[in-house]
Amino acid sequence: MKVVITHWVHEEVTTFLGSFAQVKAPTTPGQVWPQDRVLLEAADADAVITCMADSVNEAFLKACPNLKIIAATLKGYDNYDVEACKQHNVQLTIVPDIIIPPTAELAVSLALGIIRNVRQGDETVRSGNFTAWRPLHYGMSLSGAVVGFVGMGNLGQAIARLLSPFGVSEMAYYDQSERHTPEGWSGPAWKRAGLQTLLSSCDLIIVSLPLLPSTQHLLDSKALESLRPGAYIVNIGRGSVVDENGILDALNSGRLSGYAADVFEFEDWALASRPKDIPQALRQHPRTLFTPHLGSAVDNVRKEMSMKAAEQVRSLLAAEVPEFAVNQVKQV
C-alpha cells in the first residue's frame, strides 16, 4: 500500500509509516508539494496525509480513485469537502486538541505584541537611530483591560486562562453556546454578550471562531462601526471570519488601534470569493502585526500532530475505525 504526505514531516513519522507502507513525501524541511505534484503522487495512493496548505474537493477525489483515507494534520477542516469524501467513501480524519495550547500561546503573544507596539519598537532599534529612551511607542496594558472573545470554545477558553494572570478586569464573550466560568476560576467571570455590545465595550477583542457560513465576515465593516474607539483585534481563528478590507477601513479611521493576525482570508480555499492575497495596504499598515499561520508551529507539537495522522492511517488500513474520524465510511 502507498501513503503520500503532502509536506515535510519528521523522520520518525516516515519511519513509522514505512513499517507498513510505501511512503512518498518531500524531504526538504519546510517544503509543501503543490497540488499538481500531490495529484501525481497520489493517483495510485491508498492514503494521503495533508496539511493546512492543502484543500480537498470533488476533483481531487476523482483524480485519486484508490484513496481510502485523508489524514489531515489540522483541526479546522473547512477547506475539505466532507460530503465529497463521504460520496467517494474516503475517510477524513483530523487531529485532537493538542494544537490548542500552542495556538493560545501565540494569541497572547500577538495580543501583547500589538498593544505594546513591539513591531514599532523593534523597527526603531534596527533603524540605527536608537540612542536612548524616548517618549515613544506608548501602548495599552492588559492590566485593567476589558477583553472580549469572539468564540469561547476550547481555544477561546485556553486563551482566557492565559490572559487572566495579567490582571484583566473583565471578560466578555460572543458564542452560539453559553459557556460557564470553570469551577475554581480565579479570574474575572465570563459574561455572555451580543456581538455589538462586545465590540463597543472591549479594549481587546480576540477572534477564535471556525469558518462557517454563519461566521464568514462576521466582523465586517458594519459590525466594526460598533468598535470602542482605540480597540485592538487579534484574529487567531480563520481569516474570513473578518473582512480584511473592513479592518483596513477601521484602522485608517482610527476606530481600530491595531490588528494582529495569524490567519488570512486568502488561505480559505473553500471560498470561491476568497482574495488571492492579503490586501497590500493592510499588509503594509504600520499598526498591524502578522505571523504566517504559526499557531501550531512548535516542533514537538507538529511531530505529535503528524504521528497522530499516521496512526489514523494505520488504523483504517487495519480495518479499524480511526480515533479522530470526521465522517463515516463503509468498510470494503
Which residues are known to be catalytic?
238, 267, 293
Residues 6 or more apart whose CB falls under 8 angstroms from that of 314 comprise 17, 20
- Which cell is 124 given? 526603531
3 state SS for 110-172: HHHHHHCCHHHHHHHHHCCCCCCCCCCCCCCCCCCCEEEEECCCHHHHHHHHHHHHHCCCEEE
Give the DSSP letter string of 68-117.
-EEEES-S--TTB-HHHHHHTT-EEE---GGGHHHHHHHHHHHHHHHHTT
As a whole number of angstroms, the distance between CA 228 and CA 91 comes to 45
What's at 271, amino acid-wise?
L
DSSP state of 211: P
**Pairing between strand 2-5 and 256-261?**
unpaired
Backbone phi, psi, residue 32, to 5°? -130, 125
Environment class of 152 (CB within 10 Å of its CB; exposed 0-12, middle 13-18, buried 19+): buried
Backbone phi, psi, residue 165, to 5°? -65, -10
The count of other CB atoms within 10 Å of the CB of residue 98 is 16
As a whole number of angstroms, the distance between CA 151 and CA 305 comes to 24
As a whole number of angstroms, the distance between CA 5 and CA 285 comes to 37
- Which cell is 47 given? 492514503
Residues 6 or more apart whose CB falls under 8 angstroms from that of 207 comprise 150, 151, 219, 233, 234, 235, 236, 237, 241, 242
